Amino acid sequence: MKFNIILILISFIFCFHEKVISNPTPRPFNAIFNFGNSLSDTGNFLATGANLFTVIGQPPYGETFFRHATGRCSDGRLVIDFIAVAYELPYLQPYLKVIKSHQIIRKGVNFAVAGATALDVEFFNEGVRKLLWLKPSLCTTKQDCDSYFKRPLFVVGEIGGNDYNYAAFAGDITHLRDTVPLVVQTIAKVIDELIAEGAVELLVPGNLPVGCSVVYLTSFSSKNIKDYDENGCLKSFNDLAKNHNMQLNIALQTLRKKNPHARIMYADYFGAAKRFFHSPRHYGFTNGALNACCGGGRRYNFNDSARCGYKGSKVCEDPSTYTNWDGIHLTEAAYRHIAKGLINGPFSIPPLKPAFFKIA
């Protein structure tokens, strides 16, 4: 008798518990699959050994949020992390970690790798191939797969930035513009393949205003004041990013016509970041927008011989007052601001589905 009461009580607690935790409305997205470079890598490159950039596996990387280095190229979370939070999904696990630990990845996985380029066709193909390889663990029957693949958010980018970086730092600035159509075509092809696999919701970030990036400002500094815009950024590189974004938008328009059932959203990283490059103090970036928090001194706090994490570099007191983290990548505070612009509007075009949590 007593035993029965306990049993009833237990089942009651369980039912009640179920009711409380199960949400009547389903999540806007059931998963996130991300393809990109260091702007969204949550640990893949580190898992490969990060041979050229081992410092991302050590402090001060990760000091603000995770409190240990995760392989993210920042002091904390990235745009993709804030998207995951907003849609009540777990922080995206890097693919290389997931396959080792046989985790359940129905809520998504991250294929982004720091250093990845769009034109290294292998990288993108690899990402898509890996996703197809994972498919049997995501869904079983065709019907199950069809319904499952309709509901994740596929994020394709930012990618392309490194294609221009490598060419620019190799000294090949004149031909940068010629590579834009090739980079854009590659991105479009991947989107096409994902749609063919059943993807419906796709978010495609454009390039950041790279002319405001500390490493560019340092490497391509000019004595001619006309080379800089009103925010102190290099016009030529911002023009390159704008050109990439314009061509990407044309390609997305074509993809939308071809796939009317898919929702292809452009993520305007340029516009979202431009706000804080234009009026940094307004957004809490009291140390200006064009200085790295962590670096080896000199103007913009960037010295290629003493990069963040290496001997001779120093980390700032409060990264949230800087947009730039290590001269190349942004701070969590800057990524949060960009994510906010995408999720709360108006920098996702058309808008993302309403989020569970608004980003503060």
Least Å distance between CB 20 and ligand NAG?
56
Number of Cβ atoms within 10 Å of the Cβ of 143? 9
Q: Is the dihedral of CA 328, 252, 261, 123 positive or negative?
A: negative
Q: Which stretch binds ligand NAG (CB under 6 A): 88-96, 141-149, 286-294, 303-311?
A: 303-311
Q: Does 312 bind ligand NAG (CB under 6 A)?
A: yes
With respect to ligand NAG, which residue has the nearer C-beta, 281 or 298?
A: 298
With respect to ligand NAG, which residue has the nearer C-beta, 99 or 306?
A: 306
43/93 Cα distance (integer angstroms) = 8
The three-state secondary structure class of 209 is coil
Binding-site string for ligand NAG from residue 77 to residue 106, where x marks contact by CB under 6 A and - marks none:
------------------------------
199/68 Cα distance (integer angstroms) = 34
Which residue has the CB atom at the shortest distance from ligand NAG? 312
Q: Please tell me the count of residues contacting ligand NAG according to CB under 6 A.
A: 7
Contact in structure between 187 and 118 (CB atoms under 8 Å): yes
With respect to ligand NAG, which residue has the nearer C-beta, 78 or 214?
A: 214
215/299 Cα distance (integer angstroms) = 11
In angstroms, the first-to-last Cα distance of the chain is: 53
With respect to ligand NAG, which residue has the nearer C-beta, 16 or 310?
A: 310
Q: Does 296 bind ligand NAG (CB under 6 A)?
A: yes
Query: Is 74 assigned a catalytic role?
Result: no
Burial class (CB in 10 A: 0-12, 13-18, 19+), 298: exposed
Tell me the two tokens of residue 184: 């854009």
Q: How many helices, marked H, and strands, marked E, lie in the chain?
A: 12, 8
With respect to ligand NAG, which residue has the nearer C-beta, 291 or 303?
A: 303
Q: Does 303 bind ligand NAG (CB under 6 A)?
A: yes
Contact in structure between 77 and 71 (CB atoms under 8 Å): no
Least Å distance between CB 196 and ligand NAG?
50
Rg, the chain, Cα only: 22
Tell me the two tokens of residue 312: 């001779």
Tell me which of 213, 236, 320, 329 is the catalytic residue: 329
Tell me which of 38, 74, 213, 320 is the catalytic residue: 38
Query: Is 178 assigned a catalytic role?
Result: no
Q: Is the dihedral of CA 181, 187, 192, 193 positive or negative?
A: positive
Query: Is 329 assigned a catalytic role?
Result: yes
Cα 79 → chain centroid: 5
With respect to ligand NAG, which residue has the nearer C-beta, 49 or 312?
A: 312
Q: Which stretch binds ligand NAG (CB under 6 A): 47-55, 92-100, 215-223, 299-307?
A: 299-307
Least Å distance between CB 296 and ligand NAG?
5
Q: Which of residues 142-181 bind ligand NAG (CB under 6 A)?
A: none
Find tokens 């769009």 and name the residue: 118
With respect to ligand NAG, which residue has the nearer C-beta, 67 or 298?
A: 298
Out of 59, 297, 346, 354, which residue is the one contacting ligand NAG (CB under 6 A)? Answer: 297
Q: Does 306 bind ligand NAG (CB under 6 A)?
A: yes
Tell me the two tokens of residue 286: 């009291």
Q: Does 221 bind ligand NAG (CB under 6 A)?
A: no
Tell me the two tokens of residue 13: 């607690």
- Catalytically active residues, by annotation: 38, 326, 329
Residues binding ligand NAG (CB under 6 A): 296-298, 303, 305-306, 312
